[in-house]
Amino acid sequence: MAEPAKLTLYSYWRSSCSQRVRIALNIKGLEYEYKAVNLLKGDHFDPEFEKLNPMKYVPALVDGDTVIGDSFAIILYLEDKYPQHPLLPQDAKKKALNLQAASIVGSSIQPLQNLPVLQFIENKFNADEKLTWAQNHINKGFAALEKLLKEHAGKYATGDEVQLADVFLAPQIYAGLVRFQIDMSLYPTLARLNDAYNELPAFQAALPQRQPDAPSPS
Ligand SMILES: N[C@@H](CCC(=O)N[C@@H](CS)C(=O)NCC(=O)O)C(=O)O
């Protein structure tokens, strides 16, 4: 019998978009080969990598002859192809809530604090402006997520099961805390969820500092 094709994830240790996919793969118990793409060295501009992700972003996933270069698309693909430990509920309303929360992170927070945007602001203004810019957009998104989820959250964002919203939230909260000094006491629901994520092996194994390309602690 043919060996099942091995999954390969092109990732950068500190990329929150890659972290989402690492969490989803871990939750679904899928083994994968980790290929590091060093964003600081510009590996993502290599023409060979561009064949995997035409936007020249991480992550990219290769599964046999399937190549996907976007974390949302990758996670929805994994959900269809590997339905174990589903990340989207059957209930239409709860599913929409998960998609909404994921979209707030993926469309209204992360793109505004992506590396080239921050580099542009730092070059045009200074490092303080860069931080203020990132904090404004993260706080706007977190305030919306706090309002949206506080009525629905159980142990996790939309109930007592880990779902898509959690997969997107955890890396963004991590980045907010570690890279952008966000005061999470303003968002008690999100802060509580973050404590719950920190207890889960699938989330722990996906943390930036646990990745093979993370710099060793000094
Ligand atoms: N919508 C894309 C966004 C991907 C993205 O912005 N990736 C960032 C890291 S989280 C990146 O590669 N940044 C490097 C750059 O823009 O030069 C996704 O969800 O995969």
pLDDT one-digit tens code per residue, 11-51:
999 999 999 999 999 999 999 999 999 999 999 999 999 99
Burial class (CB in 10 A: 0-12, 13-18, 19+), 110: buried
Q: How far is CA 125 from CA 119, 133, 136, in A?
A: 10, 11, 16
**What whole-number distance in Å separates Cα of residue 181 and Cα of residue 140?**
14
Kindly report, residue by residue over 72-104, the tens digit of the pLDDT: 999 999 999 999 999 999 999 999 999 999 999
Q: Which atom of ligand 1 is nearest to the CA of 69?
A: 20
The residue to mutate among 9, 14, 17, 178, having the most atoms of ligand 1 within 8 angstroms of its beta carbon, is 17
Interacting residues of 157 by C-beta distance below 8 A, sequence separation 6+: 98, 101, 149, 163, 165, 166, 169, 193
Q: In terms of pTM, does the model score above 0.85?
A: yes
pLDDT at 170 over 60: yes
> Across-strand partners of 159?
156
- Ligand 1 atom 9, closest CA: 15
Decide whether any atom of ligand 1 lies within 6 Å of the 174 Cβ.
no
Pull the structure tokens for residue 212. 């093979």
pLDDT in tens, 112-150: 999 999 999 999 999 999 999 999 999 999 999 999 999
Write down all domains in the chain, each with its CATH number in brackets.
9-85 (3.40.30.10), 92-204 (1.20.1050.10)
